[in-house]
A and B are shown apart, each in its own frame.
Chain A
């Protein structure tokens, strides 16, 4: 029975980790494209400005690309433990307490970012319903807010992976 359980649990956990990693890596590729595009757009616009009328929507489009680049990198940054934290005090605790605290931290962060993702969806929907358009290009930008929400789903996934990993370490 116990071995059945292990067979059951391990592939499922592994799958969640794999999906999370692949999902966040895919988002990272798109984030990389956005940041490269951002650089070319800013440089191109500044050069064109010398000779002709520049593209009036540069500021808006650059901001949108930055929003996608940053939100799409949130999950990968978490998977790489790239968000700065302080180890100083926690290291002095007993390993069991350390693990318990870490579990709570992951769970709280996971719940928070899941809620932020959900709120971004609510916000995007409200922009869509209100017919809000951008101030320069006069186009609806709510789809981009939905994309930012996907970025928060990415970090929620990454935190779920961290949580599962932590639980698995205890089980081994």
Chain B
């Protein structure tokens, strides 16, 4: 049988196992292993499996993942996020839809020290949902803004998704973080404007809150200074080349511990919870990466990614059409399964294709990150919507998806802008 066909059967087998509820990482491990077994000798397969696992698990570069997760966890568990919400509310709460705008801005603030969309949605939802309910906000807008605000977690650096893309495509984490900063700010503004637009059109969606005197507004900013300083130090230090991404993550976690201790927020129990949660998330991500590496090795031996790239390159259609088709596959993939999981599986197949078409790898990586984060609020499996439902069990999932739907329009507009003006991504490099 042709190696490419073995790869196709492997990909079908992978999806079958995944849809039978086998964890995505396990499915990639097993199919990758079986594929290698067919394509090469058992001895070579066993050697590759064990050495690959050891090399990946003991990789200094990959140790950046638990470090950034730990930073976000420490801040999340100690409730410092309350101060972010408070500051944002005092500045924009007085406008129509102010509480929902507050949620978007505070999510962006938290995202600057957290690389996970679910953690951002959970952190903000815990605080914002009761407040939004108190001020009688439209339920769809409330839950939708929390779920969407959470997606900023993986667009604003540090971002677990950008780290994974960088590692899988052998790019610089620093470059991807730098490139994503301006698009992230741009998207935050667009999401903010979406809330304003919705509430101008439907004033009952989000009534205005009380106005605070300037002094109180300024005082509220004092509360977020530690988080701003942590972000500037960690990401700024990375941009300036003071430290490597792993060091940046470790300093972030260390800094978060020092700050929360100084604020008398960090207790031994909270620290333990943060560590356990970090280990769980990091292990899940690492298992995905190593599983994808084994699966990727199998695909590489079959030469399928190269053949797909060559075939696509020779298609008699404009490259933009191919790019849009690939992005659509990501949107569909991200909507029917875990977006990070789909990203990890598909990068070995599509990344060489897009690069072969002549597109900039950094630009495409940021675009992928945005499309992946959109997957977190796209029905039927948008993970952030389910996080919000976990926090607000009485709200039907359809209502949350309806709310997220308003922001999906903004997301699509944003993606079109990024495609038409790649400079937005590349200007910072």
Contact = CB atoms under 8 A, between A and B. Distances in A.
Interface residues of A, number: 51
B60 A70 contact: no
Contact of B340 (A67, A84, A86): A84
Contact of B19 (A67, A90, A108): A90
Nearest to A75: B283
Given A28-B276, A32-B275, A101 B26 contact: no
A88 B254 contact: no
B20 interface: yes
A62 B33 CA distance: 28
B29 A112 contact: yes
Main secondary structure of the interface of B (DSSP, over half): helix
Main secondary structure of the interface of A (DSSP, over half): helix
A129 to B, nearest CB: 14
Interface residues of B, number: 56
A74 B287 contact: yes
B409 interface: no
Nearest to B23: A83
B283 A73 contact: yes
Interface string B52-69: 011001111011001100
A18 interface: no
Contacts of A157: none
A71 interface: yes
Contact of A90 (B20, B253, B275): B20
A88 B250 contact: no
11 contacts: A31-B279, A32-B272, A35-B278, A69-B282, A85-B23, A88-B19, A88-B337, A88-B381, A90-B21, A109-B23, A148-B57
Interface of B: 17-26, 29-30, 33, 46-47, 49-51, 53-54, 57-60, 62-63, 66-67, 70, 243, 246-247, 250-251, 253-254, 272, 275-276, 278-284, 286-288, 336-338, 340-341, 380-381
